[in-house]
Amino acid sequence: MAILLADDDAQLATFLSKSLESEGYSVHTAPDEAAVFSELKRQNYQLIILDLNLGNTDGLKLLEELRTHGIGTPVMVLSARDRVADRIQSLNSGADDYVTKPFSFQELAARVKAVLRRKADPALNILRVEDLELDPVLRRVQRGAREIKLSPKEFDLLHLMMRRGGEVIGRQDLLRECWGAEPETDSNLVDVYVNYLRKKVDGPEEPKLIQTVRGTGYRLGRQANVQNGAGGSGNVAQVLAPETYPISPTVAAETFRPPTNALIHSIAHDLAQPLTTVRCFLEMQGLPKSKPVLNNADLNTIEQQADRAIAISKAISALVRDVHYGAGETIDADALLNEVLADFATLTHNKLLIVRREWQETLRVTSSANLRQALIFLICKLVGRITQPLELTFGAEVGSGSVAITAGWSVAEADAQCPDAQSVFGKDLAALQQLLIDIGGQIKALEPQCMLSLLLAAD
């Protein structure tokens, strides 16, 4: 059974993939909408597991689009949204099941089995990679309109390669699963039979589907999508027009209002991601069999997820903390940032969050609780949405009657794509903007997109 896991959280997707693979499923991941449609064109799937929070994509709209395009593959929705209205809306949009985070992996596995059993469709059981199709029941293979006759062993080998279409399969794995030979067996059986398949599957005028991966093994079809984190190109500047909110003198401290429920709910949604991973890990370790093989990198991932959960939990507490300052007071920018970062000490200590300051030591800013809450929310959303080690740089530009605090972020991995402001904050930008409006400030995006500017009035 092939499952497509649509989730932009690379760490959670990796762990869920390994857990589901330990149950005997073939799992490929898709970090965004484009990858989902690309995978559905590349290969036939028996189930789609869809996280509603998929980068810039609204999961419900993607679900509706899948159904509009006539894609009848069963869809299981994952979401931290636990209201009855959310479940009803998802089911009415075409979902076959709805699982709320954090969830038990055993429950997820049972629900997967139930959906596959309930929605069994003979058409979905036909394996497809590009234009090559294999019917395991009728033992029939065809490429396009051309039928391909295979020997029993050729069919078994192709069946295995198609179940793991797009993945690199080692020669020893093929030898063990198709011939039952021990991994250390030295045999050229695999190479011989792969050549037999090549002659029958790849016609002279057809694109080559069977690829040799030098020094490793073979791959059938194009490489499957690799989970690489969130991305996007949303234009935040269009959402937040600077001229809409003119800078005005700081208002009295009595007007301070705690962050809206929407901001708290947004962060609580992010908290469900690492909690789900940690819970599934602990649960899988207690199972007597079918335990996924975890290496040191996986264990490090679990530790990082636990650290993220701790930091986000503390940030939620900090956001609703009752803090008051007198009207018109100022504070050293370094002191304010130190106070804010105290709630993220777990991440800074473990180098998951590196903070740099590029402003003058004498810089002073308003001591309003609104600014403090805005900074906590900004850092918390970055930590919640970016699972890789994060570098955050604060700077400041002092002008006539105003000061602009800039916050730019990047990921430590050189080849990884840095999520832009729209990907990280989305609709929460409007609520974050309101915090600053209350103290006569505003927020706007700067180029590059992985940067925001908090404009504040200055004495």
Tokens read off for 240: 């937040």
Q: Which two tokens stand for residue 171?
A: 């020669």
Does 236-457 match 2-125 at the fold level?
no
Residue 97 has a pLDDT of 92
Amino acid at 429: L
Nearest residue to 226 via CA among 419, 10, 383: 10
Give the per-residue pLDDT at 121: 59
pLDDT of residue 341: 92
Token output for 192: 């011989």
Distance separating alpha carbons of residues 174 and 33, to the nearest angstrom: 32
β pairing state of 442-445 and 210-213: unpaired
* Local structure of residue 226 (DSSP, 8 states): P
Q: Cβ(276)–Cβ(102) under 8 Å?
A: yes
CA distances from 167 to 26, 131, 260, 422 (A): 10, 17, 45, 32
The C-alpha angle 377, 383, 388, rounded to 5 degrees, equals 160
Interstrand relation of 75-79 and 47-51 (parallel, antiparallel or unpaired): parallel
Q: Determine how β-strand 451-457 pairs with β-strand 442-445.
A: antiparallel
Question: What's the CA gap between 426 and 163, in Å, rounded?
Answer: 37
CATH topology of domain 131-220: Arc Repressor Mutant, subunit A (1.10.10)
One pLDDT digit (tens) per residue for the chain, 459 residues: 789 999 888 778 888 888 888 888 889 898 888 889 888 888 888 899 999 888 777 888 899 999 888 888 899 999 887 778 888 888 888 899 999 888 888 888 899 999 888 766 565 567 888 889 888 878 889 998 889 999 988 998 998 888 888 888 888 888 888 887 665 555 688 889 999 999 999 988 888 999 998 888 899 888 765 443 333 333 333 233 333 333 344 434 444 455 567 788 888 888 888 888 888 888 777 766 555 666 777 788 888 889 989 999 988 888 877 665 555 678 899 999 998 999 899 899 888 999 999 998 889 888 888 888 889 999 999 998 888 889 999 998 887 778 889 999 998 776 667 888 888 887 788 888 887 887 778 887 766 678 888 888 765
Q: What is the pLDDT of residue 52?
A: 86
The conformational region for residue 330 under phi > 0 = left, psi -120 to 50 = alpha, else beta, is beta
Name the pairing type of β-strands 364-366 and 330-332.
antiparallel
pLDDT at 272: 86
Domain residue spans of the chain: 2-125, 131-220, 236-457
| Cis peptide preceding 288, ω within 30 of 0 | no
- Please name the residues in contact with 196: beta carbons below 8 A apart, sequence gap of 6 or more: 151, 154
Best CA proximity match to 384, nearest among 297, 259, 266? 266
On whether the 2-125 domain is CATH 3.30.110.30, my answer is no
**Domain spanning 236-457, CATH class:** alpha beta
pTM, 2 dp = 0.62
